[in-house]
Structure 1
Amino acid sequence: MKRGICLLVVATILWGGNYICGRYLSEAMPSTLLNTARWGISTLILVVLLILNKKKLPMLALWKEFAILGFTGIFAFSTLTYMALGNIGASQAGMISSGIPISILLFTPFILKEKISLKAWGGAGISILGVIILFLGKSGGANLEGSLLGNFQVLLACLAWGIYTVLGKQYGKKHDSLTLTAGAALYGTVFSAISCIGTVQLNTVSMTGTAWASLIYVSTLASVGAYLAWNAGVKIVGPSQAAPYLNLLPVWTVLFGILLLKEQVSFVSWVGGSITILGAVLASVNKEFITSMINRKIAKDTQAM
């Protein structure tokens, strides 16, 4: 169990680092080109993993699933996030991204036809209130117009990830996660490459040593590494007990933003971020998770007696 929890925490740390590197890379290359390069490299790694696991990538047979997942989770989510990081700080983006569980919650009853508890809807309401407050907080280093645009871009990214996650769960009933992720990465890379046509100029690319290191990080550890760690952790602790650990993502993002980027977070943003995270926690923590925590505490107390 401890190993599973450690893997889940490591995954959220790696994802948190993606925001920091995205902030560095926002000044090095256009967002569409960054996303194309990132997922182009990640796709190659995922295909190699498929080959090692003796699996094939049914590009045509599952084109519809790959296209939808690739557009929402790989192209839209990542590109919008990188665009936002060119307008607002990583800390602000991470706080708004804590609303991702709420986005998943909103699409679940429409796509999966699953009932949502009143407690979860209450948490969603609290989280949405927090996001509204976050929109009032000006991100460090950004003007008012840039801050509002960046906030809106992250919000759209959250919605895209919500659709991707819910549809991924639906498609995952028939296909394994590695195949779906590799296919989505491939199709998402194609969408990103197409978006670069006529919009990206080479003179806008300015890669430094830090930028190259950041690109390698987001293409490997923040993509494939986090994916492997998260899925391994979920297999050990179970999906229901793993979900609440997603709420650690904004915590790491804010911490890294302050320590590595020297970002300053306004009081209004602190309040909004705290409320958003609180709402997400209330919405995602279920009875199974609470029961597991209580049982583990009882077991430890029994051993200490």
Structure 2
Amino acid sequence: MTPSQARMLPVLALLVTMLLWSSSFIAMKVAVMELDPMLVMFGRMTAASLCFACCWRSLRRVTYRKGDWKPLLFMSLCEPCAYFVFEAYALRYTSASQAGMVVSTMPLFVAMAAFIFLRERLSRQVWAGFAVALCGVVWLTLAGEATEHASNPLLGNILECLAMASATGYVVTAKRLSSHYPPLFITAVQAFTGMVFFMPLAFRPGTALPETIPLLPALAVVYLGVAISLVAYGFYNYGVSKMPAGQASAFINLIPVLTLLMGQVFLDEVFTPQQYVAAALVLAGVVLSQTGSAADSGQQDTGRQNTV
């Protein structure tokens, strides 16, 4: 394999990840429309854990460092635990297309975390981009109309923003852990922790468990567990282990576009004219923040590989 081909592997891994993650909003929407969100998440994490159980021999060869249970637990509590609690309920109240648009702000959340916890300086252009994107998300939410796909866009989009804050903790912590642990191990820890976390929530008192599970939601849960929780996170953890966290998070800009297209094709979701303008404002803010940090990130990314 040539050096150029080796450099392309993380890029291809992240592109596949974005395609799969975009489809996850569609699959999750299909599942939570029929099933309790916590039951969906327990089924998703269980499916992923069963897949990782088949890789037990490979996982046993990982050398554990004393004290790393704390960042591993924090990473898993951020995502999948807190992240999917927020997102599962978000998709009950907002459309998959709107949720995907909110996800585009993820690089800004990562930049804010680096500013607060890593003391990284942010340019005025990054702050401007953050403000523009935030205005776009607010406009997108307020311009939303209650439909069968989005019964309460305001609540749903707020929950999705909280999911992004949780995902930020995962990205930053996973980057630090990836210097010692392979992507397969990190993803397996997330799956097993998520299964344990969501089990009592799925079978909590008062939960109406279905006597029979419709085929399409059942297939959506399996797809989420295998293709998303296993394959997508494995690819993402590989990609983020080979490039700076800030650069890797920029690929998330593809999610809103792909999710919008999939939402229209598979769920017949539509935006109002105002929402299309607001969505463009969100993407413009993200692009502005990324180009504004390009000069600085070139100097900071090398160090970030070891400090994030």
**TM-score, normalised by the number of residues in structure 1:** 0.83
1:123-151 C-alpha deviation (Å, 9 max, x unpaired): 21111111111121225625987222111
Matched, 1:6 2:37: no
1:15/1:139 CA distance change after superposition, 3 Å:
farther
1:164/1:31 CA distance change after superposition, 3 Å:
same
Aligned to 1:299: none
User: How do 1:185-204 and structure 2 match up within 5 A?
Assistant: 185-196=191-202, 197-203=204-210
Helix, strand or coil: the match of 2:152?
helix
Question: Structure 2: where are the runs of 5+ without partners?
Answer: 1-6, 299-308
Deviates more, 1:137-146 or 1:150-159: 137-146
Helix, strand or coil: the match of 2:159?
helix
Aligned to 1:298: none
1:239-268 C-alpha deviation (Å, 9 max, x unpaired): 554432210011111110001111111122
Deviates more, 1:81-90 or 1:187-196: 187-196
Q: 2:86 aligns with which of 75, 80, 83?
A: 80
Helix, strand or coil: the match of 1:141?
coil
Helix, strand or coil: the match of 1:272?
helix
Q: Please tell me whether the aligned partners of residues 103 and 256 of structure 2 are also in contact (alpha carbons under 8 angstroms).
A: yes
Matched, 1:100 2:128: no
User: How do 1:131-170 and structure 2 match up within 5 A?
Assistant: 131-139=137-145, 141-142=147-148, 146-170=152-176
Deviates more, 1:209-218 or 1:223-232: 223-232
Q: 2:256 aligns with which of 250, 259, 264?
A: 250
Aligned to 1:267: 273
Q: Please tell me whether the aligned partners of residues 62 and 181 of structure 2 are also in contact (alpha carbons under 8 angstroms).
A: no
Helix, strand or coil: the match of 2:92?
coil
Note the aligned Cα RMSD (angstroms). Answer: 3.0
1:57/1:153 CA distance change after superposition, 3 Å:
farther
- State the alpha-carbon separation in 2 of the partners of residues 284 and 47 from structure 1: 39
- State the alpha-carbon separation in 1 of the partners of residues 238 and 114 from structure 2: 24
1:281/1:224 CA distance change after superposition, 3 Å:
farther
Q: 2:76 aligns with which of 70, 74, 85?
A: 70
Helix, strand or coil: the match of 2:93?
coil
- State the alpha-carbon separation in 1 of the partners of residues 37 and 166 from structure 2: 16
User: How do 1:20-31 and structure 2 match up within 5 A?
Assistant: 20-31=26-37
> Identity, % of aligned pairs?
24
- State the alpha-carbon separation in 1 of the partners of residues 93 and 153 from structure 2: 6
Amino acid at match of 1:27: M
Equivalent pairs, count? 290
Matched, 1:215 2:221: yes
Helix, strand or coil: the match of 1:276?
helix
Matched, 1:37 2:43: yes
1:145/1:228 CA distance change after superposition, 3 Å:
closer
1:208-261 C-alpha deviation (Å, 9 max, x unpaired): 221122111111111221123334445667655443221001111111000111
Matched, 1:281 2:287: yes
Aligned to 2:303: none
Q: Please tell me whether the aligned partners of residues 175 and 241 of structure 2 are also in contact (alpha carbons under 8 angstroms).
A: no
- State the alpha-carbon separation in 2 of the partners of residues 2 and 170 from structure 1: 22
1:71/1:236 CA distance change after superposition, 3 Å:
closer
1:165/1:222 CA distance change after superposition, 3 Å:
same
Query: What is the CA-CA distance between 1:198 and the residue it aligns to?
Result: 1.8
